[in-house]
Structure 1
Amino acid sequence: MSQVAPQPSTASLPLDKLAMKGAIPFTIPTSTDNVDKDFFTSMLRAQGLLSSTNEVTSMEGKIIGADKGFTSNVMLCNLSYKSKPEPGTAPNKLVVKIMGGGLNLKKKVEKWLVHNLIFPNEVRFFAECNVAPSVAPFRYPKNYFCASRNTNHLMVMEDLSSFGVCGAGFKGSATIEECRSIMIYMARLHAHFWEKRSHKDSPSTVQNLFAGADLSIYPLIIKKVFPDALKVMRKAFPEVVAVIGESCMATLSNRWKSIAQRFRTPPFTLCHGDTKLDNIFFAHEIEDGKNYRECCAVDWGVSGWGNPMGDVGYFFGRCVDVEDRRAWLDELLELYRVELIRVNPDLADKYTMDKMKDDLRLMCLVPFFTVTGTLKGMKHDVDGGTGAFAPKEKLSPDNAIKKVWMDLSLMRTAHLIKDLDCEGKIAEGAADPMVPPIPCCCAWMI
């Protein structure tokens, strides 16, 4: 298999051979139709979780997530065994995630991104993240098997239904309790991995495309996407432009290369990259004496090393109503910093509240870049009034949801950009650097 991403020279690379390369003693399912009792028997035996005399005798599967866009087919599987496995070995329930199964991409750049960066990125996270549960201050799903081969990407994970319930997604804004819970979770994650990319237990090679990616072609990707995406956004969401203001829009248009460069400057820690309600499981019960719930984050496909405020800005832009965010911002940032220092006391002097707020002024652009980048691929729908941009009476349920999340995210982010004086922060930096010429090896993608 070819190299899935440029590997940082300063990082240790404990890639699991079974996850990213090497022979696999069974066939990787490419669709939910291929997930059966024989697959589970072979996989669990190969992982040492099922004895050679035991086997999966039946499997009942339920689709809990359908493949749309750059997402995945997700299946909840209930397993029965010939004999009861030893405690802590083969579980009765597993979640299977098949990334890109049946995904039909026509553009070379899209194929490269999903099969060489986005989908393998989550596999790399689980293959490389070796934080012992007894010392980890944050929770993520236990992984039983993961593999990435060319256009086949698979993960088998624990079922979290006994831990808690998934957030409400597009149904509304985060409550204050949910905000507190997620801010504490992000603080624990960031504090644990702060400047520890080269640590043997860290997922060293994961990279977030929009928030701190260290791909050598990152500025070229932004160059190809961002200017056109701004034009699409102007047409699709003029009310967002009105909130941000023409002056700020002009600054964004003229300084996008400088912004891309500044996104890749310290401090660096591991960021989830997609911190939103429907990627968070909240514990069923609140523990005594706490005003938040324990969390577990799923969907680590765009995790990467970047500024921690990228995660915070993304969450505010995607999930918190404008008036709520204005009312709660100081409390939530203080809660985040207290937990950050509790987990990593060295950060008391290294990452002050002033520094944190200053970083957020720039990193609040992360949800803006993310959503406008998505719009770039929807130009045809915007121009033609089709898909998510069809007249209201013609919108399909799926496209209505897509329109809602883009509309909400852009408007929330627009007010965040305005309130934090992001324009002033951008203007503080140096002028746009020269964009390097496109290397011959990358020209095929453009």
Structure 2
Amino acid sequence: MGDLALVFVDLEGAQNNAPTKMVAKFSPIKTNTPTFIIKNVFGTEAHWYNDFLEEDQGFGRPEAYFIAAKLVHVRPWKRLPVFCMLFEAMPPAPYSRTSGCGNLDHLKAVMSVLGSFHAKWWNHPKQYPLNFLNHPTDYNSIGKNLVIAGAKLGLPALKQCFGDVYAPVLEWTPLIRKHLKWFVDQVFTPPFTVCHGDVHLDNIFFNDEWPTGIKMIDFGNIQFGQGMFDVAYFMGTNIEPDLRRAHQDELMQGYHAELVRGGVKGYSLDDCWRDYKLNLFRVLINIMFVTWTDFRKPHKNKTGIFAAEPTPKDAKLRATYDAVNRRCAASLVDAKFDELLKSATPTCSVCCCCICCA
């Protein structure tokens, strides 16, 4: 969503460890994204960098050199909020969402860090120093309605744009609609922790010299939620299906061991697996919503990532979505998400035809 620039500076009279290379991140100048979303995403990231020391957050992240925002203008109806952030430059990411990660040690490291991070904030109330984060109970749980709307709008869009790869999942559409309210109630049920919200390989860097061996970036989606959303996003969309099938038990056990080591009680390994299966579909809803907002018109017009001769940028984005979609579909099928739905009580209501009601 934001604009990035690599910045090099010449310094006079500076300390020996003063940075001469950094990354600048700006909020977008022109965008169709509503102003309140710009404020929320960039404001959350600014708080996360500005309000905590790295060692107090629970996992590694780049050092922040400068965080600034201008939220109000003389003519606010004509101007977007402006954010500018300067961060420590990271080494090149060894993996991407497109390539996936086949290094088992690195996969274990990510799961371990997620476990210790989630344990640190497990059941933490929405109060200082986390009062700026969105919480599932905010605004009378309006987030439930947004998730329902994302599913209802997204299922037809998914069929239109990526129907082939998601064919097995789309066969469950009547079942999903029948149990949608039940599903939303489940993923909005405690325990909650702080979730990164965007745990993919383009946001993860590795270095054995760092305390946890890992640093993450992109904190605009950080919020309270079920920790299994981060785990489902990472395991379900960043690891090739054969590798995931071979090692998912080991990876989940490592995550759960870190929860226990961090003091979490009353949340078993079986609880992890159940919430993982639920949150795989929550991950898909995010993909479906982006498909609905960004890809329906390009698909219809054969432009963008669906063009016969896409630009290099669009070709890269298509390769990313091809990889993510393939892994996500396989994860849902392997998890037998449909059987989990069949075990639930149907929850259709008199307003189930409303776009934001189940």
TM (norm. structure 1) is 0.69
**1:80 equivalent in alignment to 2:3:** no
1:110-149 alignment runs, 5 A limit: 110-112=33-35, 114-128=37-51, 130-131=52-53, 133=55, 137-148=58-69, 149=71
Q: Contact conserved, 1:125 with 1:206, CA < 8 A, in 2?
A: no
Q: Contact conserved, 1:213 with 1:305, CA < 8 A, in 2?
A: no
Q: Contact conserved, 2:5 with 2:23, CA < 8 A, in 1?
A: yes
**1:333 equivalent in alignment to 2:252:** yes
2:169 corresponding residue in structure 1: 244
> Structure with the greater relative contact order (CA < 8 A, sep ≥ 6): 1 or 2?
2
1:87-126 alignment runs, 5 A limit: 90-100=18-28, 102-105=29-32, 110-112=33-35, 114-126=37-49
Q: Contact conserved, 2:155 with 2:170, CA < 8 A, in 1?
A: no
Partner of 2:39, secondary structure, is helix
Query: How big is the shift at 1:120?
Result: 2.2
Q: 1:424 aligns with which of 339, 353, 357?
A: 339
Q: Contact conserved, 1:257 with 1:432, CA < 8 A, in 2?
A: yes
Query: How big is the shift at 1:429?
Result: 5.3
Query: How big is the shift at 1:171?
Result: 4.1
Moved more, 315-324 or 295-304: 315-324
Distance 1:132 1:119 in 2: 18
Q: 1:317 aligns with which of 236, 241, 244?
A: 236
Distance 1:116 1:286 in 2: 31
**1:256 equivalent in alignment to 2:147:** no
User: CA 1:205–1:422 in structure 2 vs 1: closer, same or farther (change >3 Å)?
Assistant: farther
Distance 1:419 1:233 in 2: 19
Q: Contact conserved, 2:161 with 2:296, CA < 8 A, in 1?
A: no
Query: How big is the shift at 1:432?
Result: 4.6
Q: 2:113 aligns with which of 168, 172, 185?
A: 185
1:30 corresponding residue in structure 2: none
Identical columns (%): 23
Partner of 1:157, secondary structure, is strand
- For 2:123, give the aligned amino acid: E
Query: How big is the shift at 1:299?
Result: 0.4
Distance 2:57 2:258 in 1: 14
User: CA 1:255–1:120 in structure 2 vs 1: closer, same or farther (change >3 Å)?
Assistant: farther
2:284 corresponding residue in structure 1: 368
Q: Contact conserved, 2:165 with 2:325, CA < 8 A, in 1?
A: yes
Structure 2, unaligned stretches of length 5 or more?
72-79
Query: How big is the shift at 1:303?
Result: 1.0
Query: How big is the shift at 1:195?
Result: 1.2
Partner of 2:249, secondary structure, is helix
1:9 corresponding residue in structure 2: none
Q: Contact conserved, 1:371 with 1:406, CA < 8 A, in 2?
A: no
1:303 corresponding residue in structure 2: 222
1:385 corresponding residue in structure 2: 302
Q: Contact conserved, 2:95 with 2:201, CA < 8 A, in 1?
A: yes
**1:407 equivalent in alignment to 2:322:** yes
Q: Which one has the largest radius of gyration?
A: 1
**1:270 equivalent in alignment to 2:194:** yes
Query: How big is the shift at 1:296?
Result: 0.5
User: CA 1:315–1:267 in structure 2 vs 1: closer, same or farther (change >3 Å)?
Assistant: same
Q: Contact conserved, 1:126 with 1:143, CA < 8 A, in 2?
A: yes
Moved more, 278-287 or 365-374: 278-287
Moved more, 353-362 or 138-147: 138-147
Aligned length: 341
Q: Contact conserved, 1:78 with 1:93, CA < 8 A, in 2?
A: yes
Partner of 1:399, secondary structure, is helix
Q: Contact conserved, 1:362 with 1:426, CA < 8 A, in 2?
A: no
The two structures, once aligned, show a CA RMSD in angstroms of: 2.8
**C-alpha deviations, 1:145-195, integer Å up to 9, x for none?**
32342521222222233xxx4242144121222211211121121111111
Q: Contact conserved, 2:150 with 2:286, CA < 8 A, in 1?
A: no
- For 2:279, give the aligned amino acid: M
**C-alpha deviations, 1:243-300, integer Å up to 9, x for none?**
3251x2222233334433332211111111110111001105699xxxxx71011001
Structure 1, unaligned stretches of length 5 or more?
1-70, 288-292, 439-446
Distance 1:353 1:225 in 2: 29
Q: Contact conserved, 2:233 with 2:283, CA < 8 A, in 1?
A: yes
Partner of 1:146, secondary structure, is strand
Q: Contact conserved, 2:61 with 2:215, CA < 8 A, in 1?
A: yes
Query: How big is the shift at 1:125?
Result: 2.3
